[in-house]
Amino acid sequence: MIEAVGLTKRYGDKTAVYDLSFRVRPGAVTGFLGPNGSGKSTTMRMILGLDNPTAGAVTIGGYPYRKLPNAARQVGALLDAKAVHGGRSARNHLLSLAQLSAIPARRVDEVLRVVGLQDVAGKRSKGFSLGMGQRLGIAAALLGDPQVLLFDEPVNGLDPEGILWVRNLMKSLAAEGRTVFVSSHLMSEMALTADHLIVIGRGQLLADMSVTDFISANSADFARVRTPDTEPQLREKLSSALTEAGGHVLPEQDGALRVTGLPLPRISDLAHEADVRLWELSPHQASLEEAYMRMTQGAVDYRSSIDQKAGLQQLLPPGAQPPMPVPGQGQPGWYAPPPPQQGGQPFAGPYGAPGAPVAPPGGFGSPQGPYGAPQAAPNPYAQPAPAPAPGPAQPAPAAAPVPAPADLTKPEDAR
């Protein structure tokens, strides 16, 4: 079992992990989720003794990693599949690891067969693809037949067959009573693999619960109802009946209705009583991805904004192009998340708790731009405005020479 208590890690004035406590129990696949920069890799490095915590402690089986006797035979880890000497063959790489940990040499060929690299065992690893490198890293983690396993993005670079293999491998290892801790950004894969989730954001714990409980706690189930498209009056009639019965009805873009607050049998009875034919009545449960996005929307540090093209495109006249809609804007539960907090202070939670950071006037997405300057740059290719027509008693002024465009093929530019 892995246990972290008050785990904190600071790098100068930046707090990567703050007061993090959790347990990873044996017999289950525990997913470790969080946005980029949330502290997942830092936490895993502290578990393996590669980084020292600023405060708190983390143990494996009751002992810090560095005090485990022959730790390589008790803990296996895949953090960076590229951390391999490129000049060594796959077999020699694993053999060197086995010799360092007093693992029998026969185990090398066993794990090569497990990961499917037996046919390329004599080839140098520098010629391996990304997926082959991942398989070699997994083989190194399995080399000592450990009871505790940590994997950071184990399916990165694998093809569909390889992803299915890793999924089944994780489940089989957990079924044997081992502790399996997996970090991944693939929500669809975590939904199929993980039994339990630990979710962090900006270095703090957001959730520690089963996958089913996590989805239920961070999503709202609803019923999807559709009436004949050729009879819009029926949709309005049904919407009124559902609202009067205490339901909450929201129209969807394709003409269907999203209904919450009423069970499916009640919706069917109300439609029957209102003499409304239904084309669809189906339940909807949020996916792990939807629940995860809802949970972490206030803890994302890196967000894209609209590409302003720096004036490289001619601007359309006002009203020529409608504004692009923001997905989810206006729907219940939608809000603009706060920006990340700088410095070494504890991070504020994503739910508007007291002391939560507030976007500065010059924050990203504001008209002033991130540094207080206007975001829209002047168009370098815009033509000057035409001069006014001369009067009848005045001679026409000489036309000003138009500067030639810059020569973009000068020898110094070619360099």
DSSP for 91-130 reads HHHHHHHHHHTT--THHHHHHHHHHT-GGGTTSBGGG--H
Q: 25 and 201 in contact (C-beta within 8 Å)? A: no
Residue type, 310: A
CA dist 156 and 79 (Å) reads 11
Which of 8-17, 77-86, 206-215, 334-343 is predicted with the least confidence, judged by mean pLDDT? 334-343
Q: Taking all residues of the chain, what is their mean pLDDT, rounded to a whole number?
A: 79
Exposed e or buried b for every residue in 265-275, given b needs 16+ CB within 10 A? ebbeebbeeee
Categorize the per-residue pLDDT at 293 as very low, low, confident or very high, splitting at 50, 70 and 90. confident
How many residues are there in the chain? Answer: 415
For 259, list phi and psi in degrees, rounded to 5.
-120, 125
Contact (CB, 8 A) for 74 and 234: no
Retrieve residue 358's tokens. 């507030």
Quote the pLDDT of residue 307.
65
Amino acid sitting at position 48: L
- Residue pointed to by tokens 């950004």: 185
280: left (phi over 0), alpha (psi -120 to 50) or beta: beta
| Separation CA 15–CA 42 (nearest Å) | 11
**CATH 3.30.70.100 spans which residues of the chain?**
222-284
137 vs 118: CA distance, rounded Å: 14
Question: Tokens representing 197?
Answer: 């989730």
DSSP designation for 199 = E
Q: How far is residue 249's CA from residue 271's CA, in Å, rounded to a whole number?
A: 14
Least confident among 5-9, 119-123, 280-284, 337-341: 337-341
Q: Of 45-54, 68-77, 330-339, 359-368, which range is least confident?
A: 359-368
pLDDT band per the 50, 70, 90 thresholds, residue 337: very low
CB atoms within 10 A of CB 187: 17
Q: Which carries the bigger pLDDT value, residue 382 or residue 149? A: 149
Residue 119 has pLDDT above 70, yes or no: yes
The helix/strand/coil state of 187 is helix
| Assigned CATH class of 222-284 | alpha beta
H or E stretch including 43? Answer: helix 40-47
CATH superfamily of 2-217: P-loop containing nucleotide triphosphate hydrolases (3.40.50.300)
Query: How many other CB atoms are found less than 10 A from the CB of residue 49?
Result: 16
Mean pLDDT of 206-215: 90
What are the two backbone dihedrals, phi and then psi, of residue 107, each rounded to the nearest 5 degrees? -65, -25
Query: What stretches of 207-319 show up as alpha helix (H) in DSSP?
Result: 211-217, 232-244, 264-273, 288-296
180-205, pLDDT tens digit by residue?
Answer: 999 988 888 899 999 999 999 989 99
CA distance 268 to 259: 12
3-state secondary structure of 29: strand
Partners of 22 in the beta sheet? 4
pLDDT on residue 222: 85
The contacts of residue 107 (CB under 8 Å, 6+ apart) are 98, 143, 144, 145
Tokens found for residue 190: 């975590």
Q: In the chain, which segments carry CATH 3.40.50.300?
A: 2-217
Residues 6+ apart with CB under 8 A from 348: 338, 341, 355, 356, 357
- Cβ atoms of residues 238 and 227 within 8 Å: yes
Amino acid at 115: V
So what's the pLDDT on residue 317? 52
* Whether the predicted pLDDT of 98 surpasses 70: yes
**pLDDT exceeds cutoff 60 at 16:** yes
Q: What is the mean pLDDT of residues 162-177?
A: 94
Q: What is the pLDDT of residues 229-259, one digit of tens each?
A: 888 899 999 999 999 999 999 998 888 999 9
Tokens standing for residue 154? 């184990």
Least confident range from 6-15, 16-25, 160-169, 330-339: namely 330-339
> How much is the pLDDT for 347?
42
Tokens 């083989």, residue located: 139
Q: What pTM value is reported for the model?
A: 0.66
User: What percent of the chain is predicted at pLDDT more than 90?
Assistant: 51
C-beta atoms surrounding 399 within 10 Å: 7
